[in-house]
Amino acid sequence: MKITFVNLVEFPSIKKGKDDEFKKWFAWSNTVYEKFDGFISRRLLKPTKGKENYVAIVEHESEKTFMTMHLSDERQKAWAKVEPLLEGSPTPHFYEVLIISERRRK
């Protein structure tokens, strides 16, 4: 599968005592999003130093397939479950993949 579109999402701070619930939501919501055509992967990252906020990497075959997922009722329902856990709104960043390097399998 060729990755051509990436969304990096910077999450705001998670409300006190809600960190485990947020991680459970993220794992659950992956099962919702992976059903969409064009979905490739979605990962949650935590910083190793400095900031405390999580970042998500979402990979799709195209911006069109990403937007179909993003504007769906399923995504809106998933968002409604996480919104109360956050101290603000996430900041999305959108990218088109230009060059990729992958380990070749033998």
- Would 106 be classed as within a structural domain? no
In a domain, 17, yes or no: yes
Residue 102 included in any domain = no
Query: Can you tell me the distance from the alpha carbon of 72 to that of 25, in angstroms, rounded to the nearest whole number?
Result: 18
Q: Looking at the domain assignment, is residue 57 inside a domain?
A: yes
Name the residue range of residue 46's domain: 5-96
* Residue 44: CATH number of its domain: 3.30.70.100
What is the C-alpha to C-alpha distance for residues 17 and 93, in angstroms, rounded to an integer? 27
Identify whether 11 is part of a domain. yes
pLDDT at 62: 94
pLDDT digit string (tens) for the chain, length 106 residues: 577 999 999 999 999 999 999 999 999 999 999 999 999 999 999 988 877 899 999 999 999 999 999 999 999 999 999 999 999 999 999 999 988 887 777 7
Residue 105 lies in a domain: no
Domain presence at residue 67: yes
Give the chain's domain count: 1
pTM of the model: 0.88
User: Is 65 a domain residue?
Assistant: yes
- Report CA-CA distances (Å) from 29 to 7, 48, 79, 101, 104: 16, 24, 9, 28, 30
